């Protein structure tokens, strides 16, 4: 928090910019062995979760990120039965995954249990499916979990990580991506949050190179709005193990009965068509 305690501000050095939220109350401050987590109630954005000084999510706009990280990958797979989420402790991605009726097993592996416990308290709408019998919450190192996963056992892996610093740094390395390739079945999909297309082109290029070196044949980066993140524009990068990524399917989306606030096949198609800077 700055000296004016009625505002939380995040400084983005690489963009030379600052983003702020008017705060009504600090709801939580927890220091874990991995990081420092703060939760605030804001005047206009609902609750705000901050990890090590960086905004993770707000009540108001998290649906943009969670829907775009999840549904383009899930609808690119013909029948995603087994899904792993690495990170994602706020449970918003898990909630979106479990809207897909084909899913038989969804494992969320989050290194810091306190992220999930705070989400349950302050973002309960994201945790409504945590008790779904198909869901398994694991609190462990995602790098090790993927490394130890049975080869060919997963249909979709979603890497819902924080920025590539601290405990999440290894999730952006080539070894982890290679382990994901091994854990995926043929035709499996890997998707990774890949930061801002305006500010982090080098990082996105590195993610794509790691995927290519691991053996993924089709790699696409999708851009989408995310007002609470630096630059207001975010991305995810997805890849398929053997074969091409399926295009958005309007009939399949309509038949699924899944209700979304932002994602639909037209948005999916537009995100694929957007030229990255």
Q: Cβ distance 82 to 59 under 8 Å?
A: no
Q: Are 116 and 178 in the same domain?
A: yes
Q: What is the maximal distance between C-alpha atoms in the chain?
A: 54
pTM of the model: 0.95
Q: Are 196 and 249 in the same domain?
A: yes
Residue 242 lies in a domain: yes
- Please state the domain count of the chain: 2
Q: Are 87 and 36 in the same domain?
A: no
Helices (H), 98-133: 113-122
Residue 223 lies in a domain: yes
Q: Are 180 and 235 in the same domain?
A: yes
Q: Please give the pLDDT value at position 108.
A: 99
Q: Please give the pLDDT value at position 166.
A: 65
Q: Please give the pLDDT value at position 4.
A: 60
Q: Are 222 and 266 in the same domain?
A: yes
Mean pLDDT for back-to-back runs of 10 residues, the chain (277 residues): 74 88 97 97 98 96 99 97 98 99 98 98 99 98 97 98 70 92 98 94 94 96 96 96 91 96 97 79
Residue 160 designated active-site: yes
Residues, the chain: 277
Residue 1 lies in a domain: no
Distance CA 211, CA 209 (A): 5
| Residue 212, domain extent | 62-273
Q: Please give the pLDDT value at position 170.
A: 76
Q: Please give the pLDDT value at position 2.
A: 47
Q: Are 51 and 66 in the same domain?
A: no
Q: Are 144 and 238 in the same domain?
A: yes
CATH of the domain at 221: 3.40.50.150
Active-site position among 38, 61, 90, 160: 160
* Final residue in a domain of this structure, among 38, 58, 78: 58
Q: Are 52 and 74 in the same domain?
A: no
Q: Please give the pLDDT value at position 277.
A: 62
Q: Are 48 and 67 in the same domain?
A: no
CATH of the domain at 48: 2.30.140.10
């Amino acid at each position: 928090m700055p000296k004016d305690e009625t505002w939380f501000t995040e400084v983005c050095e690489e963009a030379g910019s600052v983003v702020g939220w008017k705060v009504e109350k600090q709801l939580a401050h927890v220091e874990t062995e991995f990081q420092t987590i703060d939760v605030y109630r804001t005047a206009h954005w609902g609750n705000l979760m901050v990890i090590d000084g960086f905004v993770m999510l707000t009540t108001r706009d998290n649906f943009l990120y969670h829907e775009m990280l999840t549904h383009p990958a899930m609808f690119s797979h013909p029948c995603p039965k087994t899904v792993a989420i690495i990170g994602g402790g706020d449970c918003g991605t898990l909630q979106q995954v479990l809207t897909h009726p084909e899913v038989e097993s969804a494992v969320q592996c989050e290194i810091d249990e306190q992220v999930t416990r705070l989400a349950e308290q302050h973002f309960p709408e994201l945790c409504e499916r945590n008790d779904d019998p198909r869901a398994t919450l694991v609190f462990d190192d995602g790098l090790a979990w993927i490394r130890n996963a049975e080869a060919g056992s997963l249909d979709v892996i979603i890497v819902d990580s924080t920025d590539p610093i601290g405990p999440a740094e290894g999730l952006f390395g080539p070894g982890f991506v290679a382990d994901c390739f091994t854990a995926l079945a043929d035709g499996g999909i890997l998707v990774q949050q890949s930061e801002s297309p305006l500010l982090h082109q080098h990082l996105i290029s590195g993610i794509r190179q790691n995927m290519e070196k691991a053996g993924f044949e089709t790699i696409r980066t999708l851009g989408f709005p995310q007002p609470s993140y630096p630059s207001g524009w975010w991305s995810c990068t997805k890849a398929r193990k053997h074969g091409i990524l399926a295009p958005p399917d309007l009939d399949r989306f309509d038949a699924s009965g899944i209700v979304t606030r932002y994602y639909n096949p037209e948005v999916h198609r537009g995100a694929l068509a957007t030229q990255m800077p």
